[in-house]
Structure 1
Amino acid sequence: MLWRKIATGLLLIVSVNVVQAQNLPNFSDIVEANSPAVVKINTVSHAQASPRSALPDSQQIPEIFRHFLDPRNQAERESRSLGSGFILSSDGYLLTNNHVVEGADEIVVRLQDRREFEAELVGTDKRSDLALLKIDAKGLPFLKFAKPDDLKVGEWVLAIGSPFGLDFSASAGIVSAIGRSIPTEDNENYVPFIQSDVAINPGNSGGPLFNLDGEVVGINSQIFTRSGGSIGLSFAIPASVAVNVVEQLKSKGRVDRGWLGVMIQEVDRDLAASFGLRKPEGALVARIEPGSPADDAGLQVGDIILKFAGEKIAESSDLPHVVGSTQPGESVPVEVIREGKKKSLSVTVATLGSQEDDQQAAGSDNSSDTGSSRLGMVVEALPKELAQRWDVKAGVLVTNVAPGSAADAAGLRPGDVVTQIGFNAISSLDDYTMVEQQLPSDSLLPIRFVRQGRPIFRTIATPK
């Protein structure tokens, strides 16, 4: 009897394993059908070597040696890099990452059948890290983009590329998250990345990420790693972003994005409570550029944007994605919370330009004892030179913060410029004194201040 039970148990295990194996996807058909449209990209950059030293007077050097100092005789340094890409159309348009071809003097595209073509750079978009190339060929195999918004977390995906130069390698995994925000080195955030656990390594950049229908859902762009290799955190640019970028690069050689003209911050639990929200959501407007679309539409500092162009703004990082994808010149509805009440506005989006450098700030040595101890901070009138330097129209300058006070708990410190408490604007010392005296006891209120040119919202708890 014992051996029968053992045999039955083994049979059950084998049956379960067979069923599980039958449920796993077979990627071989996808690889066979689509890998001919995936390419390997080799780039070469030439840079002239700099002289090792600079001599104050070349006339002191004998004539026979002077030609060595001529820049025209300096040897060129050659650097090479590689990446992946894929063909978009039978007439030779290709897509890859901007960082794969950035600064390249030569771009060589190699197909799976080992044919090689020198590629022309049609256009690049640094903000999305995409580049459009063109090779002189006809009748090429090409890939199709998946429909936007069809991708779901947990869905199987497949990558094909050239990791570490190993041509046309395939790796598979699942979608781990959608809409990941990864700010660039310029602190811009216009791509809602797809996160997956597909093994992506250097050389995969620019290659396609497929769904089980063999459609491109993303363009592999970044990895998170401490070792230099894949640890199961890879990020791809969504197909919806790529389609828009390709269309614009083809038609005008550049990409125009929508611009609203606001500086925003996340809404945490305390801020949500102080603004009358049931839960943290939306993007809190901390600053509005004068003359911007937001300014013209009547948006105000302290508004919390809940919807933009019909899209829900669950987190502050959602807003740049939606605004950036809006066509410049288009008028769209905006839903905000203002002083605890919902309000609908209409804004005409403008074109995003180059990011301006942040202004450098300096503190002020002038102080006075004007202020109140109720919130635990001493304030003074805002000096004109400081207001101009930090582009602050009005407010009061914090000169001292008492340890353990409400202001201290809110994170204020000397040098901050307070511009709003609760829903009351602070334009002068008189405003501050009046508002502070009328503050309700034992309440959690929003407070806005400017720190070295950067506007910040926090919450401050008034004493009992």
Structure 2
Amino acid sequence: MNRQNILLVASASVATALAMLAAPALGQLTQQAGQAQPTPAISGPAPELVQQQDARVVPDSQASMQQSFAPVVRRTAPAVVNVYSSVTVRRSNCPYANDPIFSRMCGNAPTQSQKVDNSLGSGVIVGADGVIVTNNHVVEGGQEFRVVLNDRREFPAELVMKDERTDLAVLRIDTNGQNLPMLDFADTKNIAIGDLVLAIGNPFGVGQTVTSGIVSALARTDVGVSDYASFIQTDASINPGNSGGALVDMQGRLIGVNSIIFSKGGGSNGIGFAIPSEMVKRVVDAAVHGGTLVRPWLGAKGDVVDSAKSAALGLDRPRGVLISQIYDGGPADKAGLQEGDVVLTVDGREVFDDRGMKFIAATKAEGETATLSIIRNKQPRTISIRMSAPPGTSKAELVQITTRNPFSGAQVAELSPALADALGLDPFQAKDGMLIYSVPGRTIARNVGFQAGDIVREINGVTIRTKKDFETAVKKAEAVPSSEWRLAIERNGQRIETSLRG
């Protein structure tokens, strides 16, 4: 075979290989409009997998290989906006301005200068009347907000709600009665790994940009950037400035809000994460209908099932969540869930850790039902749980300690599962007791060594579970001048015992 023939054969082989590699990624583009989306197979109690008909096909012609994302971009790009957040920072021109003595050296001359700091992110219009969702970290600390539409119109924006725990925020602009282009929410339960997606945003402030990729993974709960994490992972390029932008499917529906990337240098390495639209929809609905976000809970806590636990439980492989704690009187307790049960799926979706269960519960509205597939004593069962909010109030009812005792000057609050959850504490570990909410400087409590977040567990041998327990124990100790205060507090999960003189 001569050199020319060798080159022709090699070229044909490379072309064939490239076509084979491109076929799975582009196959989804040949779906017919309106065709039902396949539901990903889930692992239920039975080990047998149910085969479902998949509408995804590979290209079967040269024309299908030349299809474009342009129609999807034309439908979705107008609903993605730029979000500008600004804050006015006042700085002193005198280096001694905060010193009570040397500040006199500044004289009577003006000592304040102002500087406006701006930050840029992206947002998605999810209401034709001007409702926009973005990331909380895009608007965090901002005092004024401005939205620039795809057609370059600018509007001042009002911050309706921000939720640090989901890293979401909702803005509203006044459109003077005009309807804006918006994105509908996709049903993220039907998303499959390998689905084609587009990421739309404003990276580095260069202007609206569209990148393509696939769904790389689902239900990423170990990213650790928010309390309610179950991210969609994608290799579509996401860079600084993309935060708050849209991740859309091939039908032009919003499947997630781009939030974070894993990167050592600050640029995209093909590992980006988006908040699923089911959580986005919950936050938006709460913002539009009153501004109060109630997060239901299961009232159950579980552990990851590893290989050793899987073998002991008689499972075919490590899967599910092993229930380790049940809150008395909580939703799971009322439904009959028991310690030692293994939860395989919640509403048909596999769960692998406690955070996955927590996320799905938080996407429910209070009063809705979640269906759990479980294994109990090696037998499959199904349990329906009616969701409800954690007991107690999520807002701290603060008590200022004004009498002279070791707690003097501190603010305390009675703990409950609702307050613990709102503060990011474990509702099972911090379900009762008195929380040291704040400890101002130059107070007895600060000098004693109390810190915000400490939980008072005992005073002079009396167990403290409620506000009444705390007040009774404090009054009893105060009634004896110079009495000894034997205290037990919990700090970061560790019990600390100390003895003080009154």
TM-score where L is the length of structure 1: 0.67
- Counting only pairs closer than 5 Å after superposition, residues 100-179 of structure 1 correspond to structure 2 as 100-137=138-175, 138-179=178-219
Match of 2:323 in 1: 285
What do residues 178-213 of structure 1 show as CA deviations (whole Å, max 9, x unaligned)?
222145456x2x342111111110000111112223
Match of 2:487 in 1: none
1:213 and 2:251 are equivalent in the alignment: yes
Aligned partners of 2:345 and 2:123: how far apart in 1? 35
Structure 1, unmatched stretches of 5+, are 361-382, 391-450, 454-464
Aligned partners of 2:188 and 2:233: how far apart in 1? 16
Q: CA deviation at 1:110?
A: 1.2
Among 104, 116, 124, the alignment partner of 1:61 is 104
1:250 and 2:288 are equivalent in the alignment: yes
Q: CA deviation at 1:11?
A: 8.1
User: What is the identity, as a one-letter code, of the residue corresponding to 2:254?
Assistant: V
Contact 1:109–1:117 at 8 Å: present in 2 too? yes
User: What is the identity, as a one-letter code, of the residue corresponding to 2:280?
Assistant: A
Aligned partners of 1:300 and 1:177: how far apart in 2? 31
Contact 1:191–1:241 at 8 Å: present in 2 too? no
Match of 2:423 in 1: 355
Q: CA deviation at 1:145?
A: 2.9
What do residues 106-137 of structure 1 show as CA deviations (whole Å, max 9, x unaligned)?
11111232221111112223333222222122
Contact 1:156–1:211 at 8 Å: present in 2 too? yes
> 3-state DSSP class of the match of 1:109?
strand
Aligned partners of 2:180 and 2:357: how far apart in 1? 39
Say if 1:258 and 1:25 are closer, same or farther in 2 by CA, change over 3 A. farther
Aligned partners of 1:162 and 1:386: how far apart in 2? 59
Among 253, 258, 265, the alignment partner of 2:303 is 265
User: What is the identity, as a one-letter code, of the residue corresponding to 1:228?
Assistant: G
User: What is the identity, as a one-letter code, of the residue corresponding to 1:229?
Assistant: G
User: What is the identity, as a one-letter code, of the residue corresponding to 2:104?
Assistant: I
Aligned partners of 1:12 and 1:311: how far apart in 2? 44
What do residues 268-318 of structure 1 show as CA deviations (whole Å, max 9, x unaligned)?
111122233332222122333444333444544433323445554354443
Match of 2:435 in 1: none
Say if 1:334 and 1:219 are closer, same or farther in 2 by CA, change over 3 A. closer
Q: Which moved more, 1:238-247 or 1:287-296?
A: 287-296
> 3-state DSSP class of the match of 1:235?
strand
Contact 2:305–2:352 at 8 Å: present in 1 too? no
Q: CA RMSD in A?
A: 3.7
Structure 2, unmatched stretches of 5+, are 23-61, 391-417, 431-457, 466-492, 496-502
- Counting only pairs closer than 5 Å after superposition, residues 23-422 of structure 1 correspond to structure 2 as 23=65, 25-49=67-91, 52-53=95-96, 54-57=98-101, 61=104, 65-66=107-108, 74-137=112-175, 138-182=178-222, 184-185=224-225, 188=227, 190-309=228-347, 311-338=349-376, 340=378, 345-352=383-390, 353=418, 354-355=422-423, 357=425
Aligned partners of 1:139 and 1:13: how far apart in 2? 53
> 3-state DSSP class of the match of 2:237?
coil
Q: Which moved more, 1:105-114 or 1:338-347?
A: 338-347
Contact 2:125–2:183 at 8 Å: present in 1 too? yes
Aligned partners of 1:127 and 1:346: how far apart in 2? 27
Say if 1:103 and 1:293 are closer, same or farther in 2 by CA, change over 3 A. same
Contact 1:182–1:193 at 8 Å: present in 2 too? no
Contact 2:299–2:326 at 8 Å: present in 1 too? yes
User: What is the identity, as a one-letter code, of the residue corresponding to 2:210?
Assistant: A
What do residues 383-406 of structure 1 show as CA deviations (whole Å, max 9, x unaligned)?
99999699xxxxxxxxxxxxxxxx
Say if 1:165 and 1:386 are closer, same or farther in 2 by CA, change over 3 A. farther
User: What is the identity, as a one-letter code, of the residue corresponding to 1:155?
Assistant: D
Contact 2:361–2:370 at 8 Å: present in 1 too? no
Q: Which moved more, 1:145-154 or 1:330-339?
A: 330-339
Aligned residue pairs, count: 364
What do residues 243-262 of structure 1 show as CA deviations (whole Å, max 9, x unaligned)?
23222221121322221233
Aligned partners of 2:7 and 2:242: how far apart in 1? 47
> 3-state DSSP class of the match of 1:158?
strand
Q: CA deviation at 1:238?
A: 1.9
User: What is the identity, as a one-letter code, of the residue corresponding to 1:269?
Assistant: S
Q: CA deviation at 1:355?
A: 3.4
Q: CA deviation at 1:334?
A: 4.1
> 3-state DSSP class of the match of 2:199?
strand
Aligned partners of 2:373 and 2:338: how far apart in 1? 12
Q: CA deviation at 1:237?
A: 1.6
Say if 1:332 and 1:15 are closer, same or farther in 2 by CA, change over 3 A. closer
Aligned partners of 2:380 and 2:7: how far apart in 1? 68
Say if 1:4 and 1:164 are closer, same or farther in 2 by CA, change over 3 A. closer
> 3-state DSSP class of the match of 1:149?
helix
User: What is the identity, as a one-letter code, of the residue corresponding to 1:80?
Assistant: N
Aligned partners of 1:96 and 1:348: how far apart in 2? 30
Contact 1:267–1:316 at 8 Å: present in 2 too? no
Aligned partners of 1:173 and 1:333: how far apart in 2? 33
> 3-state DSSP class of the match of 1:36?
helix
Q: CA deviation at 1:333?
A: 4.7
Aligned partners of 1:254 and 1:48: how far apart in 2? 33
User: What is the identity, as a one-letter code, of the residue corresponding to 1:79?
Assistant: D
Aligned partners of 2:365 and 2:315: how far apart in 1? 30
Aligned partners of 1:112 and 1:163: how far apart in 2? 14
